[in-house]
């Protein structure tokens, strides 16, 4: 049995039309190249996210947009994070925060313009980015009530207590399951616990392809269920805001006093993710839902 064709860039026009008619859900995957230890490909964040979206669409229907690998970095919290990672050459594919969040608005507008009735926008690069994407999506929804789930990929994990990390057992296991040729655990150097080795300090040697298969399976199941739930809420095809409308939404968003998480100071970021902070409360609620869409 052949797999369902789901990649936007590989479809012929009639295939795209049929896919939208059958299941008008668009997956928007995001990630960034940056150090993930010596044992993982630099593009881990985006690669795992894209592969998860592709597999979910193949099983449940929908279309996967081209992967966006240019992400927010080298500003806000990204600066202090990079300084602590023992990675003098970060190999990072980065762009300005304002460009990224406005680009996201244009991606949502494209979804509406093409006739999609729901969106799952997922980033494999997290710790603040997903929060800012949700803020941008909330502004867009005021103009076009598009059912959306905007999340970091760890937020749809429902296996054991895996809730994301950076190049540790969770992410390494995920990529090992999804793209095994891009993980080489023989490259993991010997080091003391807690020592950062090229942005990996969470015992990546504990990673397992078998565990990765189970983590990934839980994510795909939750993504498919979420897509179905979003489409049940669909108001039907929405009016396209058009390019001028997208510019208006961007201008409105950038004029608002939104507290962008990625641009927070290190101290404010720590407070935000504390148990009593907005981010900490959201994280706790996400964990309670066992990876399902809230």
Domain of residue 48: give its range: 8-160+219-288
294 occurs within a structural domain: no
Q: What is the mean pLDDT of residues 222-251?
A: 97
Asked whether residue 61 carries a pLDDT value surpassing 80, the answer given is: yes
Binning pLDDT at 50, 70 and 90, where does residue 193 land? low
Looking at every residue in the chain, the average pLDDT score rounds to 95
47 occurs within a structural domain: yes
Answer for the pair 183, 217: CB distance below 8 angstroms, yes or no.
no
Owner of token pair 């609620």: 285
Answer for the pair 137, 112: CB distance below 8 angstroms, yes or no.
no
227 occurs within a structural domain: yes
pTM: 0.97
Number of domains in the chain: 1
Binning pLDDT at 50, 70 and 90, where does residue 2 land? low
pLDDT tens column, 263-291:
999 999 999 999 999 999 999 999 999 99
149 occurs within a structural domain: yes
Distance CA 112, CA 129 (A): 23
257 occurs within a structural domain: yes
pLDDT of the residue at 1:
45
Nearest 10 degrees: CA dihedral of 75, 121, 201, 172? -140
175 occurs within a structural domain: no
Residue 91 backbone class (left: φ over 0; alpha: ψ -120 to 50; beta: rest): left
Binning pLDDT at 50, 70 and 90, where does residue 3 land? confident
Q: What is the mean pLDDT of residues 248-273?
A: 96
**What is the β-pairing status of strands 118-123 and 94-95?**
unpaired
5-14, 121-130, 136-145, 200-209: which has the minimum mean pLDDT?
200-209
């Amino acid at each position: 049995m052949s797999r369902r064709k789901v990649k936007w860039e590989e479809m012929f026009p009639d295939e795209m039309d049929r896919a939208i008619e059958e299941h008008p859900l668009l997956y928007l995957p995001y990630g960034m190249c940056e150090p993930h230890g010596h044992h993982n490909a630099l593009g881990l964040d985006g690669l795992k996210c894209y592969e998860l979206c592709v597999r979910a669409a193949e099983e449940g229907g929908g279309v996967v947009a081209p992967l966006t690998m240019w992400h927010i970095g080298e500003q806000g919290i990204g600066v202090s994070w990079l300084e602590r990672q023992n990675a003098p050459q970060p190999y990072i594919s980065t762009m300005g925060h304002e460009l990224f969040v406005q680009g996201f608005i244009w991606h949502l507008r494209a979804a509406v313009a093409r006739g999609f009735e729901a969106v799952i926008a997922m980033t494999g690069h997290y710790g603040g980015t997903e929060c800012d994407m949700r803020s941008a999506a909330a502004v867009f929804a005021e103009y076009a009530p598009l059912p959306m789930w905007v999340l970091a990929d760890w937020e749809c994990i429902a296996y054991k207590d895996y809730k994301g990390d950076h190049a540790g057992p969770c992410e390494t296991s995920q990529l090992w399951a999804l793209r095994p040729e891009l993980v080489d655990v023989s490259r993991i150097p010997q080091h003391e616990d807690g020592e950062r080795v090229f942005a990996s300090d969470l015992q990546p040697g504990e990673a397992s392809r078998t565990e990765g298969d189970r983590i990934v399976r839980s994510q795909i199941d939750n993504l498919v269920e979420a897509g179905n739930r979003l489409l049940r809420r669909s108001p039907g095809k929405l009016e396209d805001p058009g390019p001028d409308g997208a510019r208006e939404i961007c201008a409105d968003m950038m004029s608002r006093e939104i507290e962008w998480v990625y641009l927070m100071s290190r101290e404010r970021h720590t407070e935000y993710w504390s148990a009593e902070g907005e981010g900490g409360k959201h994280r706790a609620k996400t964990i309670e839902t066992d990876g399902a869409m809230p």
